[in-house]
Chains A and B, each alone.
Chain A
Amino acid sequence: MEGRSAGDVIFKIALTGAALSVPTLLGFLVFELWAGSRLAIAKYGLGFVTGTTWDPVAEDFGALPLIFGTLVSASIALAIAVPLSLGVAIYLTEFSPKWLRQPVAFLIELLAAIPSVVYGLWGIFVLVPVLKSTVFPFLRDTLGFLPFFQGPIYGNSMLAAGIILAIMVMPYIMSVSREVLNAVPASQREAAMGLGATRWEAAWTAVVPYARSGIIGAVILGLGRALGETMAVTMLIGNRNEIAASLFAPGYTMAAVIANEFSEATTDMHFAALTYVALVLFAVTVLVNAMARLLIWRVGRGKPSGGQGA
């Protein structure tokens, strides 16, 4: 008995250590970011997030266009990827023939394994030319009355980055939603169809609502990816530090500016400003995640979903 209890103690200590290592690591990370950006924090304070110039030569730094670019490109990505991945997930769980399910799901999940620099290259050589020659002019001709689809077309743009991000986050949202939809008990489908629902109505009024909080979780996962994605965005967004209403205009994101300038940051202030950007990116990610979680909590409050239904 003695030996077993000693084993328990060791086991417990080891696991506690493993569990504590994550928050500790996070603490160090935040501390390092804070320490590295102290110089910039002292000079700009919170005004950093509302400043709009980014001039390493004059050492004048503001991150608003970067924050804007990060949030807008991620929003475009979700606006495209969420309906698409949810549609695929619903099709695969509710409608498709059985033999088609695994292959399609596998192919989509394979998209997640492609390195982001490859997405960037594909974007430069295939996606952007097509967008520039066909899609963007079409959008300008049909939806040109909206401020989002006006102005000169360069190719590299906020919209191009949003589209590549959409393709990159789709596998995550799709595969998690598919798992969640698959986990909805058959009794829910039977209940709906027994009441005269068509397959489509059963999917939309019974299966999807049952899986709602899990689907929101899938979207949050995708959002987290979209906010932090660096390489492909850097290659396609145009890297211009401005806030433009038009999605055809180039933009910049927090992750992209760090990737582009970190190796060339020669002055202490430039380095500190970039680290400050990283800190802001971290804060924005935490904030967006917290808001999304609050949303789940509000939506799901008192409505247990997943498991407790029966």
Chain B
Amino acid sequence: MTEASGSGPAIEARGFSFWYGPRQALFGIDLAVARRTVTAIIGPSGCGKSTFLRSINRMNDLVPGARYQGSIGVEGMAALDRGTDMVTLRRRVGMVFQRPNPFPKSIFDNVAYGAKLNALVSKRELPDLVEQCLRQAALWDEVKDRLAQPATGLSGGQQQRLCIARALGNRPDVLLMDEPCSALDPIATQRIEELIFELKRQYTIVIVTHNMQQAARVSDMTAFFEAGRLVEFGVTTQIFTAPKETRTEAYITGRFG
């Protein structure tokens, strides 16, 4: 599925700083994400973790007054360059948002949206692609008999898995997840977490989460952000059992944040 196979990290940020108008939100972030791993970004509210995530596929370009410095490389593309084709970048970097946001179209059309938009497959191949993506998102068995029905009729957890299937429809290399479970109940959350575990065999995943147990459960690597700075980045088990920084320890043991 992934075209990129070179060595080196899937995502690499160097000296990345970000401003909302006069307010600086991120300060010189250096972070490298290895291919086919799950990286969790944790930190207190307002620490810039979502800002960082949304910079990788340049969703923040939509925010008026946003500007940034430094570089982010995504599978060999210089994501922040002026000349970078945003359509290609966003096709290769799928995103799943906090709240499920399916289009008010049929389940089929939701999953086929990206492939149709970017003309990835012929019309004849669309049903196969849709089935494949829904299977990958562990939704196929629940919806295979009602693909023509509106996606808005699904439950919240199903909608979020549909949004994951929709992102997979673009055949991306990277999946960005911005607190994908914050609007879901525990059972739906568990299903998404199992799904993330499955998906990392094929995709590089970066997940922002407020839930530290979730970060500990699903991720290989964890990055701890605080006040716009990357405080500590390391193997998840190490971060949660033997953090090097006292601020990391304070956060994960719940002494603040």
Enumerate B108-145 residues with CB–CB distance to A below 8 Å: 113-114, 117-118
A192 cross-chain contacts in B, Cβ below 8 A: 103, 113
Report the nearest B residue to A212, measured CB to CB: B104
Indicate if A308 sits at the interface (CB-CB under 8 A): yes
Contact partner of A195 (CB less than 8 A), chosen from B99, B114, B152, B153, is B114
Decide: A195 and B101 in contact? CB cutoff 8 A. no
Decide: B97 and A190 in contact? CB cutoff 8 A. yes
B81, chain A: closest CB distance, angstroms: 17
A193–B57 CA distance with the chains assembled, in angstroms: 10
Contact partner of B104 (CB less than 8 A), chosen from A190, A194, A198, A309, is A309
- Chain B residues near A (Cβ < 8 Å): 57, 59, 62, 64, 86-88, 90-91, 94-95, 97, 99-105, 113-114, 117-118, 149-150, 152-153, 163, 166-167, 169-170
A194, chain B: closest CB distance, angstroms: 4
- Given A191-B97, A194-B94, A195-B170, do A309 and B117 touch, yes or no (CB 8 Å)? no
Enumerate A196-241 residues with CB–CB distance to B below 8 Å: 196-198, 201, 205-206, 209-210
Question: 0/1 per residue, A169-198, Cβ < 8 Å to B?
Answer: 000000000000000010111111111111
A97–B94 CA distance with the chains assembled, in angstroms: 28
The interface size of chain A toward B, counting residues with CB under 8 Å, comes to: 26
- Chain A residues near B (Cβ < 8 Å): 98, 185, 187-198, 201, 205-206, 209-210, 302-305, 308-310
A309–B154 CA distance with the chains assembled, in angstroms: 11
Decide: A198 and B95 in contact? CB cutoff 8 A. no
- Given A188-B101, A195-B167, A196-B118, do A308 and B152 touch, yes or no (CB 8 Å)? yes
Decide: A195 and B104 in contact? CB cutoff 8 A. no
Residue among B103, B114, B166 with the highest chain A CB neighbour number at 10 A? B103
Counting from the closest, the 3 A-B pairs by CB-CB distance are A187-B101, A196-B91, A194-B95
- Given A194-B94, A196-B91, A309-B152, do A185 and B101 touch, yes or no (CB 8 Å)? yes
A69–B59 CA distance with the chains assembled, in angstroms: 51
